[in-house]
Amino acid sequence: MSIFSEIERIKAQILDTERMLKLVGEHPIMSDSLKDKLNSLKERLANFPKDLIEPKIRLLFSGNAVKGSIGIKSRFVSKTMKPIQELIKTQTALVRFGGVGKRGQAKKSANSELYLTALPTGSFGVELSQLEHNDLFDEEDVSNAIKQVVELIEASTESDEEFEKAIENTPKRNLANLKSLLKTISDANSILKLETGSFGVSISEKEVKEGFERVNATTNEEDEVFINGVLRGILLDSGKFEMITGEGNLINGIINPELTEEQLIEYDRNFLNKECRIHLSVNKTTFVSGREKVSYELIEITE
């Protein structure tokens, strides 16, 4: 049983016990016993950290994808596991990059490869876990990335506004994988339950279909440009950069994860507040609402 499922089970027991207490009133024996049980359950619940994360995710399905609580279609598993793995891999790279400055270390990719470790039943599904690590921070980075991916999936099925806000902090390459995941689940007329650590969401069949339509209607165009301007700053902790073009326009965005910390320090030393030529990836996202968002990614700086 996942940590989230255990927390939900204890919450359900607390509600049941409270209902029983109301029914028995001040019965001299039964009320004392139920009060002791209630206090014990609340104590167990309080011992769980509120924001516990772990390098593990459970996905539970229904509909045409599963046979009750007996089994799940192997093809469906294959078609859902690839995009969820890629979503987590890309998000882990972003999490790892953003934390480099705080650790004072050169970037080293995290091991975000997940293993199939269980086939949970109830609503039948799969459990994916990180079993191998490259360094001490792997588990934390993958855990954070998994939670962020769950939040992204939830936002995409919630509303246009929540989806657009979630995309602000998500690599645009994740759109294709998100669309692929939701399409597979939508085609199977399935719900989607996601659990990781003490965090979990439940998405209805209708919300899954609406989420797929929302993501499918979102277009993404990517191009590369070279701009002459002045570098105004590079932030190692947040993985952001800022520049001013020759026309005086301010441009800021994320830094390509492939750039090492040493390269960024060198850029800062050689080009800060100086004219230079900046190679950028320009990403234009058009949402179903008609709103457009342009984002930038720093690729290289030269004289």
Residue 242's CATH number = 2.40.50.140
For residue 228, what are its two tokens? 């002459």
| Domain boundary pick from 196, 217, 238 | 217
| Alpha-carbon torsion angle 190, 196, 202, 203, nearest 10 | -50
> Which is it for strands 292-302 and 250-255: parallel, antiparallel or unpaired?
parallel
Residue scoring higher pLDDT (150 or 2): 150
pLDDT of 292 above 80: yes
Within a domain: 173: yes
70 pLDDT band (50/70/90 cuts)? confident
Residue 133 and residue 242 share a domain = no
Residue 176: which residues within 8 A CB-CB, separation 6 or more? none
Residue 172 has pLDDT above 80, yes or no: no
The answer to the question of residue 180 being in a domain is yes
The total of other beta-carbon atoms located within 10 Å of residue 24's CB is: 14
pTM (2 d.p.): 0.74
Residue 63 has pLDDT above 80, yes or no: yes
pLDDT for 79 equals 96
- Contact between 58 and 150 (Cβ < 8 Å): no
Q: By the 8 A CB rule, do 151 and 166 touch?
A: yes
Which among 195, 217, 239 is the end of a domain? 217
For residue 294, pLDDT beyond 60: yes
Q: Could you tell me the CA-to-CA distances from 260 to 159, 166, 242 in Å, in that order?
A: 37, 27, 17
Establish if 182 belongs to a structural domain.
Answer: yes
| pLDDT score of 62 | 92
What's the structural domain count of the chain? 3
Same domain, 145 and 212: yes
Claim to verify: residue 227 and residue 125 sit in the same structural domain? no
Confidence band of 229 (pLDDT split at 50, 70, 90):
very high
Q: Are residues 105 and 234 in the same domain?
A: no
pLDDT at 103 over 50: no
With a CB cutoff of 8 Å and minimum separation 6, the contacts of 243 are 227, 229, 230, 231, 232, 250, 251, 252, 278
**Mean pLDDT, rounded, for 64-71:** 87
Is 124 in the same domain as 189? yes
Residues 202 and 142 in one domain: yes
In which element (H, E) is residue 292 found? strand 292-302
Dist CA 302 CA 263 (whole Å): 12
125 close to 58: Cβ distance less than 8 angstroms: yes
Instruction: Quote the mean pLDDT of the chain.
Output: 87
Of 60-64, 165-169, 289-293, the one with minimum mean pLDDT is 165-169
DSSP code at position 296: E
**How far apart, in Å, are the Cα atoms of 197 and each of 49, 58, 177?**
9, 10, 23
Q: Indicate whether 183 belongs to any domain.
A: yes
Are 250 and 233 spatial neighbours (Cβ–Cβ below 8 Å)? Answer: no
Q: DSSP assignment, residue 48?
A: S
For residue 36, the model assigns a pLDDT of 85
- Enclosing domain of residue 180: 56-217
Specify the DSSP class assigned to residue 192.
E
Domain shared by 245 and 109, yes or no? no
Same domain, 147 and 241: no
Instruction: Please tell me the predicted confidence (pLDDT) of residue 133.
Output: 81
Q: In the prediction, which pLDDT does 100 show?
A: 36
- SS3 at position 276: strand
CB 52 within 8 A of CB 4: no
Residue 51 lies in a domain: no
Q: Is 240 found in the same domain as 109?
A: no
